[in-house]
Amino acid sequence: MPTRTLKDKVVVIGGASRNLGGLIATEIAAEGPKLVVHYNSDSSRDQAERTAARCEAAGAEAITHQGDLTKVAEVERLFDAAHKSFGKVDCMVNTAGMVIKKPMTETSEEEFDRMFAVNTKAAYFMMREAAKRLEDGGKIITVVTSLLAAYTGLYSVYAGSKAPVEHFTRALSKELFGRRISVNNIAPGPMDTPFFYPAETEDSIAYHKSSSMNGELTRIEDIVPWVRFLLTDGWWLNGQTLFINGGYTTR
């Protein structure tokens, strides 16, 4: 049993309507936290509400909140909503992200700007706002990608827009010394979710699978225990990127 629990802790989860963010919310709900289930657009509203309902059924308190995290004012509104409902924020987990796969020579300015807005800017300001709002002893976790340790083409703007988050994490973790707030990244391998498949072909999917120790993609169920660990007993880990990927890449 964990010696540090999430009972009554307020956890803001970016991108929590479905996939990894949704599973994190529902899996930690039994520990009795107060959850803010963020979602991006109207198309995700129903899924976010279903996630919140499952969390409450498992024993958590939960609210939903819509916001475009590429806009700093909406990041601030997300934390405002947490404070309004629960009076504080203890932890932030950001799973929001976006991927494209194409040669650098075919990447448009619009695609570049959008990828950096979602994967870099939103991550930065989620971390910044968490640092301003979290109670001492809090936790900040951002999901990046195992491609940060890969030597490969075609993901230049995706992996490139995730790469700065490692530096943000190291810098912020150092800046928060004295407050007992840990700041870490989790870098999954290619995950078996709808987020992954549109950018891939049958051949590339087979290659990704062959690069793990059991010939499978990373499952979101493989990642959640590590998030829970960082939120509880893993508090002493700080400023790190954990490559949770079955050996897909190492560093």
Q: Which residues are catalytic?
A: 158
Classify residue 76 as exposed, middle or buried by CB count within 10 Å of its CB (0-12, 13-18, 19+). Answer: middle
Distance CA(20)–CA(191), nearest Å, equals 9
Residue type for 111, please? E
Q: Do the Cβ atoms of 244 and 223 come closer than 8 Å?
A: yes
Tokens of 11: 């956890």
Strands (E), 40-181: 61-66, 89-94, 134-143
> Which residues, 6+ apart, have CB-to-CB distance to 179 below 8 Å?
136, 137, 138
CA distances from 150 to 8, 37, 176, 218 (A): 39, 32, 30, 16
Distance CA(196)–CA(84), nearest Å, equals 35
Tokens of 55: 């969390």
Residue recorded with tokens 């650098």: 104
Q: Where are the alpha helices (DSSP H) in 6-71?
A: 19-28, 45-58
